[in-house]
Amino acid sequence: MEKTDYYSTIFKRRSVKKYDQTPVDKKTLEEISNHIKSLKPMYNDIKTEVKIIPLEQVETKKKQAPHYMVIFSEPKGDYLVNAGYMLQQMDLFLSGNDIGSCWQGSPRPNEDVLKNSDLEFVIVMSFGNPKKSKPEELHRKGALDFKRKSLNEISTVKGADEIVEAARLAPSAGNSQPWFFTGNENIIHVYSSKPYAVKEHKAPRVQKYNTISIGIAVYHLQAALEHFGKKVAIVSDENAKTRAPENYEYVVSLKAE
């Protein structure tokens, strides 16, 4: 298995929901485990742990995949954004190596798995070989296969359409696409929809997954910028905080050089 060009994978990845229940072969599973060790966090001061567990250790109403990837985190700062940023690296790695994967909101590790970590459980990602009867479900043909908002609905960034396009195609919880971007080719500011923009009784859960989704989009932005030869620094911009679009709140900025 190889670390692929994540930028090109962004334009073909698909959330795979139907799997061959035969486990991934041992060698491939070891390579996936080794790649987890190379994941880069957005914030180095937030402790995280990523584990691979079998279906038998997952509480889920629907039997879906033979394997699940679990991320645990120290609950501080933008830890949910950080978790999304990190696990999306695995989503793209798996897709780029022809292994299906999908972010999962409802399934969770069983109590034995939870007790074996001192960190907070955040979310799981299912993965495995796609159902052989549905090989077309592994990848999309291109950007037109995605159901997403248009660029002008999510961005006022000047001179960097090819960068923001990568974020536009990012997966999000319920395809909510909770992001908005401003700035230019040198710095892109990322905003997330405010909690009160969703129904009150669903707000805490929805906002959790929306925040994780923002981390996914941030990683897509970074992968695109690096693809075009830019060095990226993730920073906090005080001016951007005071200029949030209506119904959005500031999260972070990506400075490119």
Helices (H), the chain: 6-10, 26-36, 79-96, 111-115, 151-154, 161-168, 203-227, 238-241
pTM above 0.75, yes or no: yes
Which pLDDT does position 221 carry in this prediction?
98
Which pLDDT does position 201 carry in this prediction?
45
Which pLDDT does position 200 carry in this prediction?
52
CA nearest neighbour of 228 among 3, 5, 13: 5
Ranges of residues in the chain whose predicted pLDDT is under 50: 201
